Amino acid sequence: MVTFLSSQPANLYPNWFYYDDANPPAYVTTTSGKLWTFGTVPINNTSVVVLPEIDDRGLFSTVKLHCYGICSTYLTFIRRMRNEGDWY
């Protein structure tokens, strides 16, 4: 994909970036200034935690996270755990 995007005119794909899969960064800054963090550890209160189920299969680490948001496949389950305390 990087080879394809590099060969295209810059006006077709003006805002693309990539990082090495072997060494991903701890976070990426979004255009709104939020930190897009990978894993279960938010950096600060403006962090959006991405896919916490990869590091923590039970999702127990998401119950007391202090972050801006969570991006996950199991959002309904995480919301019930955080709001209602129903852990199945």
- Domain residue spans of the chain: 26-88
pLDDT at residue number 80? 83
Find out whether 83 and 63 touch, Cβ atoms under 8 Å.
Answer: no
Give mean pLDDT, residues 3-13.
83
pLDDT single digits (tens) 22-47 = 676 778 888 788 888 887 778 888 88
Mean pLDDT of the chain: 80
- Residues of the chain with pLDDT > 90, as a percent, come to 0
Q: Answer with the residue of higher pLDDT: 63 or 22.
A: 63
d(CA 88, CA 86): 6
pLDDT at 22: 66
Residue 19, pLDDT score: 65
At 71, the amino acid letter reads C
Give the phi and the psi of residue 61 in degrees, each rounded to 5. -70, -15
